[in-house]
Structure 1
Amino acid sequence: MTDIPYRSALVIGAGSGISGSLIRLLRSGGLPVVIAARNTEKLAPLVDETGAIALNVDASDAAEVERLFIETEARIGAPEVVIYNASGRVRGPIADLDPKEVERAVGVSALGAFYSVQQAAKRMIPAGKGAILLTGATAGVKGFALSSPFAMGKFALRGLAQSAARELAPKGIHVAHVLVDGRVRPKGHTDPTDRPDSTLDPDAIAQTYVDLLRQHRSAWSWEIEVRPWLETF
């Protein structure tokens, strides 16, 4: 794990699933890590386990994201890896959805990602180095019924990743969209014996992120999909 070519990381939208697995891997590689979420109390077990630093943020608020980066820089230096895992969900028939709830959901999934990429770019461009990984979902390529706000946010996230990759890669910054195409295995969950590994193991997903970080710049991926091996295409 010591061959990760970056020295510090910020994970936004942290929890016990993909983010938890990522933080363990990054910390095992010796990187100082800041984990940010709206409610950091739930991160206490992960902080105790890994020694990561937890900071509060409302990712849908540009000023709060800017403050998060300033505080992160003061604690561990400018983050050379920024991973955006936050997303907003609200379900229901289009005709019945509350516009304010929709605005909030899209604000977290899409605008929060933009604010984070913007703050990361401001620090990475002068350094000529960095990696920005954005966590997508099936909804970013296929909108499901009763889930239009989530689809809107994840489609926008994918577009942001593609545009930012084209703009920032020539400046030495690796931007990638990780399309998580399937159900992530909850903690303590066991897959049916007749369908082993039918859900996505968060540790395996995290390994894919680290593999992206190790890519040589002559062969950077801007997008990678992870899905269960039993997926029907």
Structure 2
Amino acid sequence: MSTTGAAPGLSKAFYAIIAGVGGGTGRAVALRFARTYPVALLARGEASYADVVAEITRNGGEAVGVRADVSDEKSLAAALEVVKGKFQGKGLAVGVFNVSSPVSIKPFLETKLKDLDQSLAANARGLYNFAHATLPSLVESVSANPPYPPTLLVTGATAALRGSAGFGVFAAGKFAVRALSQSLAREFGPQGVHVAHVVVDGVIEGPRTKGYIVEGVEDGKLNPAAIAESYWHLHTQHRSAFTHELDLRPYAEKF
């Protein structure tokens, strides 16, 4: 099992799954991991992953996009059957959970129970389903001599660390994701699977945030490609020095 650096060329024996692919972080992580592995991209709509699949293919990589709602166990199971058919005989090297509910900022008394249900469904239930479906394959890959330790990476947020005014229902979902990630790391780390939770603290560059000025500076947003490099670094860590939680923020962000 390799310890540092990038695997040379495309690894034909293993593949990666990224759930929650669109603009921003999901796209950047998919492109980064596609430099080493065939990748499966999951999203609720084809429009979210079609351009990324095409870009990876143009660059000489291998990718498949599949529609899936990770909060729905049957939808996810059907999608993963398609992925396994496409990558038959390959082991799972990485699972990336990059799914989230919309950030809804409301005074608590203006929220509805459906807002809480939406947050818990996308975040807590989504991660539960994704981890439940991918961890058996990741454990199986431990003994298959992968280039790096099999890895489950989970995208978190500032709201996973503190619940701010107006962010109650969003924070409830993100706190649950962080707690489940901690439990998974303690259970599956000793089995050789690296589980890491990434706190993304700040505004991410992307189509929806174009033109935002954060903390008074033009480069005050998180660069998705830089986030993706951190995800890659977590995947390549030697099992004697796993990082469980990594927090990322722009230099100008207050914390």
Which residue number corresponds to residue 88 of structure 1? 101
CA distance, structure 1, for counterparts of residue 19 and residue 48 of structure 2: 14
SS in 1 for 2:71: coil
The equivalent position to 1:72 in structure 2, one of 83, 86, 90, is: 83
SS in 1 for 2:65: strand
Which residue number corresponds to residue 52 of structure 2? 46
Shift of 1:150: 1.1
Tell me if the contact between 2:91 and 2:141 (Cα under 8 Å) persists in the aligned partners: no
Which residue number corresponds to residue 194 of structure 2? 174
Q: TM-score scaled to structure 1, two decimals?
A: 0.91
Question: In the TM superposition, what are the counterparts of 1:114-125 in structure 2 within 5 Å?
Answer: 114-125=128-139
Structure 1: tracts of 5 or more residues without a match? none
Alignment-mate amino acid for residue 2 of structure 1: A
Tell me if the contact between 2:42 and 2:49 (Cα under 8 Å) persists in the aligned partners: no
Tell me if the contact between 2:21 and 2:48 (Cα under 8 Å) persists in the aligned partners: no
Tell which deviates more after alignment, 67-76 or 192-201.
Answer: 192-201
Tell me if the contact between 2:14 and 2:91 (Cα under 8 Å) persists in the aligned partners: no
Shift of 1:42: 3.2
Deviations 1:51-107 (A, max 9, x none): 321101111112222222222222124532100011113442322323223212211
Tell me if the contact between 1:18 and 1:206 (Cα under 8 Å) persists in the aligned partners: yes
Tell me if the contact between 1:83 and 1:133 (Cα under 8 Å) persists in the aligned partners: yes
Deviations 1:96-128 (A, max 9, x none): 323223212211111100111111112222333
* Alignment size in residue pairs: 232
* RMSD, aligned α-carbons: 2.2
1:37 is the counterpart of 2:48: no
CA distance, structure 2, for counterparts of residue 147 and residue 231 of structure 1: 19
Tell me if the contact between 2:92 and 2:141 (Cα under 8 Å) persists in the aligned partners: no
Q: TM-score scaled to structure 2, two decimals?
A: 0.83
Tell which deviates more after alignment, 114-123 or 76-85.
Answer: 76-85
Which residue number corresponds to residue 3 of structure 2? none
1:24 is the counterpart of 2:46: no
CA distance, structure 2, for counterparts of residue 87 and residue 108 of structure 1: 6
Shift of 1:195: 2.3
Tell me if the contact between 2:199 and 2:245 (Cα under 8 Å) persists in the aligned partners: yes
Deviations 1:197-221 (A, max 9, x none): 3111001000000011110000000
Alignment-mate amino acid for residue 230 of structure 1: A
CA distance, structure 1, for counterparts of residue 155 and residue 71 of structure 2: 16
The equivalent position to 1:151 in structure 2, one of 160, 171, 179, is: 171
Which residue number corresponds to residue 151 of structure 2? 131
Which residue number corresponds to residue 2 of structure 1? 7
SS in 2 for 1:200: coil
Deviations 1:113-161 (A, max 9, x none): 0111111112222333621000000010011222212101110111111
CA distance, structure 2, for counterparts of residue 198 and residue 8 of structure 1: 34
CA distance, structure 1, for counterparts of residue 101 and residue 218 of structure 2: 30
